[in-house]
Amino acid sequence: MHEADSYYNPGPGNGQQPGDASYQQPPQQQQQYTPQPVANGELNEKATFAQTFKIEKPKWNDLWAGVLFLAFCAGFVAVSAIALQGYTSTRNIQGSGIYDERNDFTLGTSTIILFAFVLAVAVVLGYSYVWLARLFPKQFIWVTGILNICWAIGTAIFYLYKRYWSAGIIFLIFGLFLAFCFWTWISRIPFSALMLKTAVDVSKTYGHVYMVSLIGGLIATAFGAYYSIVLVAIHDKFQPSRNNPSCDSSQGCGSGKVIGLIVFVTFTMYWISEWLKNTIHTTIAGVYGAWYFHPHSPPRGATRGASKRALTYSFGSICFGSLLLAIIQFLRHLCSIARSQSMQEGGVGGMIGYIVFCILGCLIGLLEWLAQFFNRYAFCHIALFGKAYIPAAKDTWKMIKDRGFDALINDCLIGPVLSFGALFVAYACALLAYLYLLFTNPSYNSGGQYTVFVVAFSFLIGFQIANIFTTPLSSGIDAIFVAAAWSPHVMYNEHPELYNEMVRVYPRVQQMIRV
């Protein structure tokens, strides 16, 4: 990334310097990074998003990743078509409700009904969580932290009551550690609440943030339903059993094929979900970037322009970044299943396995956090300036480090809070699945052999959908950070009230926002 000697300096939106007594003059000027958006003086009322955030030589970046993504999507459709054909051929033993199926060898119609309940819970809780953030930004952070602490400790008590000592001890340690972390976060809550309130205020008056969130959430729900049916259909089509009418020796059925196909469709599901979430994120980042640079003369069709860029020139870059995160998340999912299996086995061996997979899960979780960190801010750069993924990630990281904004970002709790919220939704979905299997006692799960599998995938569905619903909140804050680090003087000139409030709750910001 190169520094430029020229400055983007549109001046205050009202033509005057702030005059109230609380206004604090920021320190001296810093050089600015290129590229820069079109300044206010050069922007007419009919300017579009593409004209405001120009790409000198528009091209389809990271095209190989986009082609590979589409190939995986085509493979997913092909596998689902074959599996669904097998499911329809066994309808005579699947039944049409919870209790009337005669399938005793693998997942069936009752499992599809369970996943439908899981989807409903995920949608209701996920969207309710977003509305809670809109209505009560500061209380939202407190409630999220307290609920997760109570949930972790409550789960530990439940497992200890059931004499699952290994799981009970681990969850108890996790709950106490979470309580310690939340206690250390208390001093950072005012700054985080301010950023969340700012993002919510902008979303209410600028662009079509919640429309994008709603459309993305509905697409995610529909895809989650489709994936759930395909998951069950693969078992029905290829699970070897003498009671399976769609499977005989001539059709290549086998446990290995079931596992392989489930691995493929689950990984593809992760990739598609991440692509959808990052497309929403990139679109929302473009909207907030337009607000940051031009709050008084916004470009026309910011939402439409940002989404068009995300679905065309930046499509491959979004697929690339989503692929990296999908691989990490898939590995974490496998680790979660192994951990749950170890917990179910019990005994000393089960406890050792559980601890090992917990440690491995923590390491993978750290890797996932790093990947998400780079992705979030790289996609903000891609949304505004249209670079390829790797150059955007490098430039954005260097710029954030040079400005010292990495400290500012680390002190904002919105990312962890939203992650905890998604975990809460996921745990609720997993609990629903467990209770459903416990009370309906389907014949295929008489020995509990599918409990870990169904609960784990219910957790996965709830977590992914909740993440997609909450994406617009975090996207807005991420975009504000990146834009402020890119052109800090715009914060001083165009958003004096926000700047003063940030200085009040987070004085260190004066060292970062210099003009």
Residue ranges making up the domain that contains 82: 67-92+104-511
Q: Say if 367 falls within a structural domain.
A: yes
Q: Say if 339 falls within a structural domain.
A: yes
Q: Say if 315 falls within a structural domain.
A: yes
Q: What is the pLDDT of residue 2?
A: 35
How many separate domains does the chain show? 1
Q: Say if 35 falls within a structural domain.
A: no
Q: What is the pLDDT of residue 21?
A: 37
| DSSP at 43 | -
More confident residue, 512 or 504: 504
CA distance 72 to 265: 9
Q: Say if 18 falls within a structural domain.
A: no
Q: Say if 282 falls within a structural domain.
A: yes
CA distance 277 to 234: 26
Cis ω before 35 (30° cut-off from 0): yes
Q: Dihedral of CA 343/349/351/354: which sign?
A: negative
Q: pLDDT per residue over 126-178, tens digit each?
A: 888 878 877 777 788 888 888 878 877 887 787 688 665 655 676 788 778 87
Q: pLDDT per residue over 178-191, tens digit each?
A: 788 788 878 888 88
More confident residue, 450 or 91: 450
Q: Say if 99 falls within a structural domain.
A: no
pTM for this prediction: 0.77
Is the pLDDT confidence value at 376 over 80?
yes
Cα separation of the two ends of the chain: 20
Which tokens is 280 given? 């929403």
Residues 6+ apart with CB under 8 A from 154: none
Q: What is the pLDDT of residue 448?
A: 65
Q: What is the mean pLDDT of residues 213-222?
A: 83
Q: pLDDT per residue over 289-316, tens digit each?
A: 888 888 877 777 888 888 898 998 899 9
SS3 label, residue 190: helix
Q: Which of 4-13, 341-350, 471-480 is the least confident region?
A: 4-13
SS3 label, residue 32: strand
Confidence of residue 18 (pLDDT cuts 50, 70, 90): very low
Torsion angles phi and psi, residue 4, rounded to 5: -115, 150
Q: pLDDT per residue over 354-368, tens digit each?
A: 778 778 878 887 888
Q: Say if 24 falls within a structural domain.
A: no
CA distance 28 to 511: 10
CA distance 462 to 117: 11
Q: What is the pLDDT of residue 3?
A: 37
CA distance 494 to 221: 39
Which tokens is 512 given? 């970062």
Q: How far is CA 398 from CA 2, 3, 33, 402, 406, in A?
A: 10, 11, 11, 6, 10
More confident residue, 362 or 349: 362
Cis ω before 472 (30° cut-off from 0): no
Q: What is the mean pLDDT of residues 43-52?
A: 67
